[in-house]
Amino acid sequence: MPNLSHMNPTGRFTGLAGLYARCRPTYPAAALDGIQNRCALGPGSLLVDVGCGTGISSRLFAQRGIRVLGIDPNAEMRTQAEATVLPNGGPCPQYRDGRAEATGLPDGEADVVLAAQAFHWFDPDAALREFHRILKPGGWVALMWNERDEADPFTAAYGAVIRSTPGAAALEMSRGSAGNELLVHPCFEIGQRTLYAHEQVLDEEGMLGRALSASYAPREPEQVNAFTADLCEVFARFQRDGQVALRYQTSVYTARKPSLLVFEKPMRIE
């Protein structure tokens, strides 16, 4: 997997926090259930959401009564996360400055480390070793992505426009394989990948916001105009009653930090 950590993953989302919070999809309840059950998350657990952004995944787990600490290096994204309250008025996640490769957290503090729509921006080996350090023995890593399901005709047409922007295709290819790093990493065991169906129903404004919230979306006015015109043509072809459904497959990768350290048998000296 190409290492994208050198591509300014912190700075490239500056200016997008509001759009990101409004227009990015959530995650399917079945995927959250799968993580909660496999990782034995409960009210006494601490989930550290690394690369939490505007707190979309952090809030979903907090709404389930789980204690959540979100870590993100982008101050604008953290401010947006902190400004969003839970709909049921329950305890909100806490948020802190930090990077995946250097969270600043103590050893052995977390029950689960989550990275949702973020791990492809990290240095994979350095991040996984940091996750291993801050996890309790027997703790879990969960990596989650919403990936477009282009078996659906509208989603395929939308994806074709997205890939027309410079760098989008290469980044999406890297993102699609990023979770495999966890499955083969020597610090973790019993890795598995699970897929869940998901969709995001959008009007035209929401579809445009979803597209423009991507880090690789155009920013120059002339390019933005051409990009949005192409998307609006796709919307017009596929909309029903002013809405479209963007289809996803949500990938969840999980693996566990071993409960016990295994030491090599010392060599006997005669």
CATH code at 75? 3.40.50.150
Mean pLDDT over 173-185 rounds to 89
Return the pLDDT at 262.
45
* pLDDT surpassing 80 at residue 255: yes
Domain count, the chain: 1
How far is 242 from 25, CA to CA, in rounded Å?
18
Binned at pLDDT 50, 70 and 90, residue 267 comes out as very low
* pLDDT surpassing 80 at residue 171: no
pLDDT digits (tens, 9 = 90+) for 8-51: 555 556 677 889 999 999 999 999 999 999 999 998 999 999 99
Two tokens at 107? 């050893």
Give residue 203's domain range. Answer: 11-256
Return the pLDDT at 270.
38
Q: Is the residue at 124 inside a domain?
A: yes
Whether the Cβ atoms of residue 62 and residue 54 lie closer than 8 Å to each other: no
Q: Is the residue at 193 inside a domain?
A: yes
Look up tokens 């952004």; give the residue: 53
Which among 236, 217, 233 is positioned nearest to 20, based on CA atoms? 217
Antiparallel, parallel or unpaired: β 110-116 and 135-148: parallel
Two tokens at 89? 């008025």
* pLDDT surpassing 50 at residue 269: no
Cα maximum dimension of the chain = 84
For 16, 34, 129, 219, the CA distances from 12, given in Å and listed in that order, are 9, 31, 25, 11
Share of the chain above pLDDT 90, in %: 79
Q: Is the residue at 261 inside a domain?
A: no
Letter string b/e over residues 209-246, b meaning 16 or more CB atoms within 10 A of that residue's CB? bbbbbbbbbbeeeeeeeebbebbeebbeebbeeeebeb
Q: What is the DSSP string of the chain?
A: ----TTS-TTGGGTT-HHHHHHHS----HHHHHHHHHHTT--TT-EEEEET-TTTHHHHHHHTTT-EEEEE-S-HHHHHHHHTPPPTT--PPPEEE--BTTB--PPTT-EEEEEEES-GGGS-HHHHHHHHHHHEEEEEEEEEEEEEE-TTSHHHHHHHHHHTTSTTHHHHHHHHHHTTHHHHH-TT-EEEEEEEEEEEEEE-HHHHHHHHHTSTTS--SHHHHHHHHHHHHHHHHHH-BTTBEEEEEEEEEEEEE--SS---PPPPPP-
Q: Is the residue at 265 inside a domain?
A: no
Q: What pTM, to 2 d.p., does this model score?
A: 0.90
Return the pLDDT at 268.
39
* pLDDT surpassing 80 at residue 64: yes
- The DSSP bridge partners found for residue 112 are 47, 140
Q: Is the residue at 77 inside a domain?
A: yes
* pLDDT surpassing 60 at residue 216: yes
Mean pLDDT over 136-141 rounds to 98
* pLDDT surpassing 70 at residue 1: no
Q: Is the residue at 266 inside a domain?
A: no
Q: Is the residue at 145 inside a domain?
A: yes
The average confidence (pLDDT) of the chain is: 91
Binned at pLDDT 50, 70 and 90, residue 133 comes out as very high
Mean pLDDT over 197-206 rounds to 98
Q: Is the residue at 242 inside a domain?
A: yes
